[in-house]
Structure 1
Amino acid sequence: MPALDDFNDEPADQAVQALRACNAAPRFAAEVAAGRPYRDVETLVGRSEDVARGLPWDEVLLALAAHPRIGDRVEGDSTEAMSSRTEQSSLTGADDATRDALLDGNRRYEERFDHVFLIRASGRSPAEMLGELQRRLGNDDETERAEVTEQLAQITALRVRQLVGATATGERASQGAPATEERNESGAEPVR
């Protein structure tokens, strides 16, 4: 895992490749890499959340295609596969009834929304994830797209922190709070 200084200094193509393991949307990696150098991890994570939240739906769908179903056994040794296994580790202790309900819920969700159910699994119990899945099955398309995008931003933030070897210093990313509160008069992020 590169430190922030290493991430800031590596060639652009390497930074983009590393970021694609955090969020597979091409626009995400390009925009975040273009913002280097970042003064600190919080600025990098905040920018990552902002970019993920601002992705158009077609890019969100590209990112979703790289995520396994909640409860599926994740195969492979890619950075993204390893992250998914770690994030979903709480499911290893799930009972059979919860696993079966997640499988059924995933199937119904995919039939309803035509994409994989995405949730930040890190820090959530199997029962919490199942409850969220069942609740979100009642969402209309627009509401669900907003929830998916927010979950993607939270997952992305966790993965970007891991990318630069940072430990979470706050729970902002996992709680969905705004990534940056400081804005200039035009509403844009301040210059780094």
Structure 2
Amino acid sequence: MAALDDFNDEPADQAVQALRACNAAPRFAAEIVAGRPYRDVETLVGRAEEVTRALPWTDVAIALATHPRIGDRVDGSSAEAESSRREQSSMDDADATTRAALLEGNRAYEQRFDHVFLIRASGRSPEEMLAELRRRLDNDEEAERAEVTEQLAQITAIRVRELLA
């Protein structure tokens, strides 16, 4: 609980900075910080998911810009880079055929939707992510934006939990 107490008590600008590694949408961090103090981690995580799901598309797009493609090697030592490497660790075991199909699928997805394919990679195999990418290529823009927002909410929840671990 000490991590939650620290989060609740730290200066707002420091809390915002920490939260940007969880979700880069400016509105997200501002709303979460404004809701402090949180009584427990689950309340904070639930609020993080709720705020993310309510973000306008322009804010979701800002958050998307910080996410690497599925299958890309993530460089750097930032909190975002470390989270992405951890979340995509199952890609270390992907065979060459799956990697090539993901690369091709990412290109097709970005051409169709004009942003990276976002999926909660934690707990998913490369083959599952590839199947989801292929399925989502058939979405219309509205349906895909809803799926992206939901995936962002799930990723945000994981990262908020990690932040307080």
Q: TM-score range by the shorter chain?
A: over 0.9
Percent same amino acid at aligned positions? 78
Alignment of 1:81-120 (within 5 A): 81-120=81-120
Gaps of 5+ in 1: 166-192
Which TM-score applies when normalising by structure 2?
A: 0.99
Query: CA-atom RMSD, angstroms?
Result: 0.6
**Which ranges of 4 or more aligned residues in structure 1 deviate by more than 6 Å?**
none
Deviation digits for residues 95-127 of structure 1 (CA, Å, limit 9, x no counterpart) = 000000000000000000000000000000000
Determine which structure has the larger helix proportion and give its number. Answer: 2
- Which residue number corresponds to residue 156 of structure 2? 156
Structure 1 residue 49 corresponds to structure 2 residue 23:
no
Alignment of 1:67-82 (within 5 A): 67-82=67-82
What residue identity is the alignment partner of 1:51? V
- Which residue number corresponds to residue 183 of structure 1? none
Q: Distance in 2 between matches of 1:80 and 1:31?
A: 20
Q: CA deviation at 1:36?
A: 0.5
* SS in structure 1 of the partner of residue 120 of structure 2: coil
Q: Distance in 2 between matches of 1:34 and 1:116?
A: 30
Q: Distance in 2 between matches of 1:118 and 1:37?
A: 30
Deviation digits for residues 116-154 of structure 1 (CA, Å, limit 9, x no counterpart) = 000000000000000000000000000000000000000
Q: Distance in 2 between matches of 1:20 and 1:82?
A: 13
Q: Distance in 1 between matches of 2:60 and 2:107?
A: 20
Q: Distance in 1 between matches of 2:164 and 2:92?
A: 27
What residue identity is the alignment partner of 1:140? D
Q: CA deviation at 1:42?
A: 0.4
Q: Distance in 1 between matches of 2:138 and 2:3?
A: 42
Q: CA deviation at 1:70?
A: 0.3
Gaps of 5+ in 2: none
Number of aligned residue pairs: 164
